[in-house]
């Protein structure tokens, strides 16, 4: 797998989404603007979900796996017992409930891995 680059978070702080997007652009130099924009959107959704629903983000990683035309984003949190779920019937007036639908729409695949005290929500974005 390609080299993973990590962005580490200070516990309890609100994720600095603008800085995260700038960091992603720096990591993904040479990749088309449309793909980078999709990666920024998907990443901010995963980071926001971890912050709002899982007591914060422990780490964010991004890589381009060897031999594959995708960008892989991984977001760790410390609540492995709490699995993400898509809201099937959302209130159209609610500002919440669309994040995983966006992740599904943008990614070629996504999933959840759990380990001892950690959960990783990951997604792969096609390089266009």
- 12-63 per-position pLDDT tens digit: 678 899 999 999 999 998 899 999 999 999 999 999 999 888 888 889 999 9
Residue 86's pLDDT is: 62
**Cα 2 from chain centroid (whole Å):** 17
In the structure, what pLDDT confidence band is assigned to residue 4 with cuts at 50, 70 and 90?
Answer: confident
3-state secondary structure (DSSP) of residue 68? coil
What values do phi and psi take at 48, rounded to 5? -65, -40
Residue 13's pLDDT is: 74
Token pair 């990749």 is found at 31
> Which of the pair, 30 or 91, is modelled with greater confidence?
30
What average pLDDT does the chain have? 87
């Amino acid at each position: 797998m390609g080299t993973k680059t990590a962005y580490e978070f200070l516990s309890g702080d609100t994720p600095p989404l603008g800085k995260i997007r700038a960091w992603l652009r720096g990591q993904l130099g040479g990749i088309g603007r449309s793909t980078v924009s999709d990666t920024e959107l998907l990443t901010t959704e995963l980071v926001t979900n971890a912050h709002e629903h899982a007591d914060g983000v422990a780490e964010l990683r991004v890589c381009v796996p060897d031999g594959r035309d995708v960008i892989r984003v991984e977001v760790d949190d410390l609540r492995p017992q709490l699995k993400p779920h898509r809201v099937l019937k959302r209130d159209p007036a609610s500002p919440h409930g669309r994040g995983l639908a966006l992740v599904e729409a943008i990614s070629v695949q996504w999933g959840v891995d759990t380990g001892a005290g950690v959960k990783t929500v990951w997604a792969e974005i096609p390089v266009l």
